[in-house]
Structures are given as C-alpha cells and as structure tokens.
C-alpha cells in the first residue's frame, strides 16, 4: 500500500469541498500507477450516485476500456458507503484502502447507518416500499439472457 495514493484521495476530497462538492475523494491504482481519480460531485451534477468512488470507477473503466477492474486497488478518503462498496464489488477491484471511517463521515453529516439498517429489514418493513409485480415476465428476461449464446458474463 502506498500512502501517497491515499494522500491524493484526501487532497481530492479537500478540493471538492472548495469547489462545491462533498468531502470525498478516490483514486484507482493499477501496477503502482494512478489510473483514475475523482471527487464527489453529487450537488454539482445533481446526481445522487456521483460519489467519489463511483465517479472514479467510471473513469477507470473508460480509460482501461473494461468493466472489470481486477488488478486494481481503490484509495478513498473515507470508508465507502453501501452504494460505493457495492460498486467496488461489481467492478472486481482487488482491495480498498480508506482514511476516515463511516463513523467519521456520520459525524461530518454523512450518516449511512439508516441504509445498513434498511438492508437488514424485511422488504415489507423498509421505508421505501418494494412491490413485486409481473414476476413471471421479469423472469422471462433472465431466461432469454441465459439462452443467449454470445452474451458477455460479468
């Protein structure tokens, strides 16, 4: 682990604060070289998914022309939220290094604890209702996918 990459993520977080973004930065590294770096741009882009890690993953995938980031590490100024953690797993990033914890983020006004609690709840008890309809039609799409000979698995 190179602390210089984590320092860069922290610098990006500080720059984001100065430029109207949220206090988060991320850097993706492959073979000891920075592939992509990004900061939080939720309010600047009016995009609730524009977290530093997600922005960084998008940039790295575009630069490397792939949707799989195996062999990469991500350095984040703060422990990734549940959405970003999911994105890291979907991208197949090898390792996460972070500075601030989720409790530090909560202290700073970014408390994700309600999401962790919601995930544990049965769907019927969650704050946002999730109603399953047209299940058979939805399942049919997966059958089509499974039968597709030239699909790209991910």
Active site residues: 53
Residue 104 is encoded by which pair of tokens?
Answer: 């530090």
> Cβ(90)–Cβ(60) under 8 Å?
no
> Cβ(38)–Cβ(56) under 8 Å?
yes
Per the DSSP assignment, residues forming a β-bridge with 96 are: 74
Q: Rounded CA gap, 114 and 128, in Å?
A: 12
Residue 69 is encoded by which pair of tokens?
Answer: 């980031």
């Amino acid at each position: 682990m190179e602390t210089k990459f984590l320092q860069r993520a922290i610098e990006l977080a500080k720059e984001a604060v100065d430029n109207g973004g949220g206090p988060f930065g991320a850097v993706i590294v492959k073979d000891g070289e920075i592939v992509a770096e990004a900061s939080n741009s939720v309010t600047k882009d009016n995009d609730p998914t524009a977290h530093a890690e997600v922005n960084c993953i998008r940039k790295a995938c575009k630069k490397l022309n792939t949707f799989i980031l195996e062999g990469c590490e991500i350095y984040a100024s703060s422990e990734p939220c549940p959405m970003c953690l999911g994105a890291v797993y979907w991208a197949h990033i090898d390792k996460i290094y972070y500075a601030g914890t989720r409790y530090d983020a909560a202290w700073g006004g970014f408390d994700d604890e309600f999401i962790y609690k919601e995930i544990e709840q049965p769907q019927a008890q969650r704050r946002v209702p999730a109603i399953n309809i047209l299940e058979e039609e939805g399942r049919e799409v997966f059958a089509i996918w499974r039968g597709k000979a030239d699909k790209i698995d991910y």
